[in-house]
Structure 1
Amino acid sequence: MKKVIINADDFGYSSGVNRGILESFKNGLLTSTTLMANMPGASEAIELAKAYPALGVGCHLVLTCGCPLTKGQTIASDGRFYNLQTYQEKRSTMDEEEIFEEWCTQIDFLLDQGMTLTHLDSHHHVHTFPENLAITQRISERYQLPFRNAYGLEEALSLNYQLGITGFLDLMNYPAIRDITHSFENRKDECLKELQAVLDQLKDHEVTELMVHPAFVDEELYYHSSFNIGRIKEVAILCDETVSQMFQENGIQLYHYGNIGDMEKG
């Protein structure tokens, strides 16, 4: 069997994102998500997570979106994080302890709200950037949680709490799926071929995370994210019966980060 975690980034970004993620879990294939502690929809996302404990929830560490939870002087300007491009320009001037403290504060906020976190990853994958690897190591050791194994992370770092999740693929970032001039239903055959090409990369008896970004569009998402309308197509795909059947026909078992270890032992 092929073992897969389907993880939605950006839980907590906004109410629309939260509703799209929950729909994809309740009526679709989604098994896991990661929550942004610093964004407007965070409190709602926490309550939804508590109401649906079968959804695995981790922390989506943020350094390039929204407002920091700490008062670090080098990691933000006018009370907001730099966007990704400006972050890349400013990173050499940032205090590493401020980044570490900010990420700890984001995790601690979720823990203090009663969340049981399954794993860690980061917005724009900044935890995998070379300049942040030492901080990633410290965070993993402090909280004894696995990080998303993206872009060769485990080749760059020896982390003690990883779960043997060897694969990391984007399930949706392909031309027909991303074409917002056509609905999923109108280009279903082309979209299914793109999904099958991803599933063809899965290997028996290995665990792969498939990254997705489902959401319903609200004002917060539409006006503040360059990737907005296309997310509703991901909800449709994750909730489609044909896609579900495709996963079954490919011999895929679905897990989240919190139960993969137990099921591996069993």
Structure 2
Amino acid sequence: MNARYLIINCDDFGQSQPMNRAIMHLLEERKVSSATIMAPAPGFEEAAEWIRRRGQANIGLHLTLTSEFDAIRWSSLTGHPSLHDESGFMHKTVEAFERHADTGAVIKELAAQYEAARRYGIRLTHADNHMGSLYGMATGRSHIPQVLKQCAKWDLPFRLFRKVHAKDPLLAAIPGVESVVAKASSLAGVLGVAIPDYLLSHSFHIEEGETYEGFKQSMIAKMYDLPDGISETYIHPAVEDACMLEQVPHWEKRVWEYKLMLDEDFSYSVQDAGVILTDYNHVRKHGRASRFGSALTLVRELLRKS
């Protein structure tokens, strides 16, 4: 039987102080694999200073092109008008970003966010994308080629996936997802960018009638259904905060995710299921595909009739 590896990544490090507190705690206790930091967000400096003081090694870059909540807004680092809405902050939705963002401005913003993290001495291990804004899921306007070229330049693995897990409730339901994944993953292979095999998703918001116990059981079930290879799942953990609970939609789900990582039942399920927790250093070593084979796959997918 092949090994089943899992990366648990904390997205949104630097979003706010309540999120920073939760993520710092989970990293300190080694309950998660890694976290990815948001350079434009209000809590970035606090998070970056903490990383520098500790010499924290398992930190990636959460490439951020949207600012979705009224209570917490931020602007781009480069200030290009196509990256902002009428309020002067980054676009609230992925659709608005895809429709309005200038591609050259996006590339410069990605580079600026990378340099912001590097200025703090953060030794980045990987990169991913806030809200999936670069994937083209809203209008079909993808910036995946641009971000993969940047990751090749930075020598960083990126959050993509080679295969769609049949039991994933969100990704498996996207029409034509297999072809899209094949094109993106093969381009990563051509460029020499390491990626995981699978991405495991779950609902960002609280479903109707959902409770913490039900959420926990669904996440435990994922551990026993984990496919062979390298999988990544992501969480957005936060401590309880009355202001955020009132002003940020589904903040309670973030508190649940923090609680889950500290839950002994979940920790036991990982061990009992034989899952090996790892990080993006494992992806860097084992997540690159053959460039020649990837090129053949890319050509085949580009020639495939829709």
CA-CA distance at 1:261 after TM superposition? 3.9
Matched, 1:70 2:96: no
The 3 A distance-change label for structure 1 pair 262 and 134 is closer
Which residue, out of 88, 92, 106, partners 2:95?
A: 88
Distance 1:174 1:103, change over 3 A: closer
Name which structure has the greater RCO, CA cutoff 8 Å, separation 6+: 1
Hey, which bits of structure 1, 4+ residues long, moved more than 6 A? 174-178
Q: 1:81 to 1:192 in 2, by over 3 A?
A: closer
TM-score by length of 1: 0.84
Q: Which amino acid in 1 is paired with 2:13?
A: F
> Separation in 1 of the partners of 2:110 and 2:245?
26
Question: How many angstroms apart in 1 are the aligned matches of 2:34 and 2:238?
Answer: 14
For the 8 Å contact 1:8–1:213, the answer to whether it is kept is yes
Output aligned runs, 1:29-178, within 5 Å: 29-53=31-55, 56-65=58-67, 66-77=74-85, 78-84=87-93, 87-89=94-96, 91-129=98-136, 130-131=140-141, 132-149=143-160, 154-157=181-184, 158-159=187-188, 160-170=191-201
Of 87-96 and 134-143, more deviation after overlay is shown by 87-96
TM-score, length-scaled by structure 2? 0.74
Picking from 272, 276, 287, the partner of 1:249 is: 272
| Contact 2:82-2:100 at 8 Å conserved across structures | yes
Could you say what the CA RMSD is over the residues aligned between the two structures, in angstroms?
Answer: 2.8
Paired residue type of 2:128:
D
Of the structure 1 ranges 37-46 and 131-140, higher mean CA displacement relative to structure 2 is found in 131-140
CA distance in 2, matches of 1:109, 1:28: 26
Counterparts of 1:202 and 1:73, CA distance in 2: 43
Decide whether the 8 Å contact of 2:66 with 2:97 is kept in 1. Answer: no
Q: Deviations over 1:4-57 (max 9, x none)?
A: 100011000011101111222333621111100011110111122234445511
Alpha-carbon distance between aligned partners in 1 of 2:242 and 2:46, rounded to the nearest angstrom: 16
1:201 paired residue number: 225
Distance 1:101 1:220 in 2: 34
